[in-house]
Amino acid sequence: MPTVSKIPRRSSGEAKTNWTSEPLDTEPSTSGDFFKIFRTVLEGIVEAGGDLTSKETSESMHQLFERQDLKALIALHQFVSKHRFQSASPANGRLVQSSREVINIVQELTSSSEGQELAHLLNRVHIQALFSAHDDVANRCYEPMLPEIPHEVDEDEGLAVKVVRLVKQNEPLGATIKCDPDGSVVIARVIRGGVADRTGCIQVRDRVIEVNGVAVAGRDPTEIVKLLAGTNGTVTFKLIPADDEFLDCGRSTGVVDGSRPRVRSQFDYDPTTDPLHPCPEAGLTFRTGDVLELVECDDEHWWQARNEGHVGVADPSAGASTDCRVGLVPSRLLQEKRAAVARKTHESTTAPSVRGDTLDSRKNAKSASPRVRKIVYESHQAEELDGEQPRSYEDVSLLYPRAHFVRPIVLAGPPGVGRNELKRRLLMLNPDRFGTTIPHTSRPPRPHETDGVDYHFASRNDMEHWVRQGLFLEYGEYRGNLYGTLADSVRALISQGRIPVLNPHPQALRLLRTAEFKPFIVYIKPPPFPALKETRSTARARSTQDGGYQRGFSDDELEQMLASATNLERQYGQWFDYELVNGNLEFAFRELCELLQRVDAEPSWVPTCWVR
């Protein structure tokens, strides 16, 4: 959270200023009201000035903050901060011409000194040079001018062909080919940013006649690929240009630069293991949760995209992307088709029994473990509920921080990974800033318990009624008593301006991850087994498997934690905004605090429907 440091305070009896650091509960500078921030600082100084500050100092501070030039500076800073993360696009690419038109109009219509000064200013050399540079960038004139494509006449077919010579090193050519029914080889697609695209000489549907003097008509595409793969240095193509009709409409549906959408991948993908990929060398590898920038979406089954990495919080200073290369990825349609086929295949080989999700079934639920989790779910239920939709891509947009906007922080992870301790430390760090929900229960209160502090105590009939109304984020039964967390308890914290810190059962993520709550989900991940065992032993972490905290974790329990983490990533990984490895609790807590500061101050990728 933001702090205002180095506030000058003059203690009694001192002539010089002492500098201290005091936290200030304000909104982030990127979206907060700077006038309110400075006024809060001023009021704090004046409020403390009875003993520490003279009347003259208070008045001078008042005068300082009331100065018009300071207000103008604050307003300018606020305006710049507001547009800090927004990509600017040129209004037009003819600024030089527009400026000359303005100069002519001013000189013809006015003889005032102000008009002449404006005309003189716009006509200055460095201003015109700035306008010229703007037009070059807006019109993309900064790319090298290529010579005209050489043409010659093919003696066999009597057609005009173009000869393209490329210098190929270790980089792929960035183009794919396919065979038409008549045996001719044509360019199927050109990858944006690749060697072929940068030349501007190779177009989709160009017909390939020769590669390095070798005729390719009638050859299998794999032979041509091997021919190109084994060639370094200069590669010469003899091509018959595509029809003009195709060139006129070939890219009409492409994604326009500056407005490229982003999607979050909901599955892992490796093109080298995909038997359907037309060119694995031109494919793009990504993991669940990675944000992809869509560059070209013309093809029904294969998109061109750039991987920006797993960026729940978008930091513009961190670079545009983790992989600048554009590659082929399966389209949403293709991926959903494959997921549907895989699901049908799985259903035909396995016939899981579906158990009703009623209160009666929860009452009869039993566990072999002496300590039963209060929220009762079964693994096959999770697969049934969370496997309803095929996983492909989720459209995402940037959610910008703004004043008085609160996002719940959800800590997900396997039991024993340290979520409760991280949550406890956050609540102790700043109880006015962070809060947590108080669950409801149908059991009677114990002598040391207070209603509204330990639990909200309610009758069983009331809780069953709330269950039927769907008011609980999560609920279950433990030793004959109902327990649950109401969605209204999260809303109450948000209305107070406090950040809810939650560590619910994974099944509750579906109900929490909505446009109403807009949670930021942090996945607390255990380190590999050797580090997990060492750190838990060093920290003397206690197991809760036996209903107490009397012993450390056994190797079997640590292995079970890792297995549970793997299953959690498989089922819910597409919803995680950030992955935090809890190898060392102190380091993990520090990283979590830094992350929450960024969530408060920087834009983050969220489902597009959340920002509409």
Q: For residue 367, is pLDDT > 70? A: no
pLDDT on residue 13: 41
Q: For residue 376, is pLDDT > 80? A: no
Q: How far apart are CA 322 and CA 354, in angstroms?
A: 43
What digits encode the pLDDT tens for the residues 423-445? 999 999 999 999 999 999 999 99
Distance from the Cα of residue 358 to its chain's centroid: 36
The amino acid at 45: I
Q: For residue 1, is pLDDT > 60? A: no
What digits encode the pLDDT tens for the residues 510-564? 999 999 999 999 999 999 988 888 877 765 555 555 554 556 678 888 899 999 9
Q: Which residue has the higher pLDDT, 604 or 91?
A: 604
- Give the dihedral sign, CA 113/116/121/124: negative
| Residue 270 near residue 257, CB atoms below 8 Å | no
Q: For residue 472, is pLDDT > 70? A: yes
DSSP helix/strand/coil, 337: helix
pLDDT on residue 491: 95
What digits encode the pLDDT tens for the residues 95-128? 888 888 888 888 777 778 888 888 888 888 888 8
pTM score of the predicted model: 0.65
Q: How confident is the model at residue 323 (pLDDT cuts 50, 70, 90)?
A: low
pLDDT on residue 259: 64
Per mean pLDDT, which range of 83-97, 141-155, 168-182, 593-607 is the poorest? 141-155
The amino acid at 350: T
The amino acid at 55: K
Q: Which of 333, 324, 328, 222 is nearest to 269 (CA)?
A: 328
> Quick one: average pLDDT of 162-188?
83
Residues with Cβ < 8 Å from 63, sequence gap 6 or more? none
Give the whole-number percent of the chain exceeding pLDDT 70: 72
Mean pLDDT, the chain, as a whole number? 78
Per mean pLDDT, which range of 38-42, 89-93, 182-186, 597-601 is the poorest? 38-42
Question: C-alpha angle 61/67/69, rounded to 5°?
Answer: 130
In Å, what is the CA distance from 114 to each residue of 106, 117, 131? Answer: 10, 5, 21
> Quick one: average pLDDT of 164-188?
83
pLDDT on residue 55: 67
Crossing angle of the two packed helices 68-82 and 34-47, in degrees rounded to 10:
130
Q: How far apart are CA 306 and CA 299, in angstroms?
A: 16
- Number of neighbouring beta carbons within 10 Å of residue 199: 18
Residue indicated by tokens 């891509």: 393
Q: How confident is the model at residue 294 (pLDDT cuts 50, 70, 90)?
A: very high
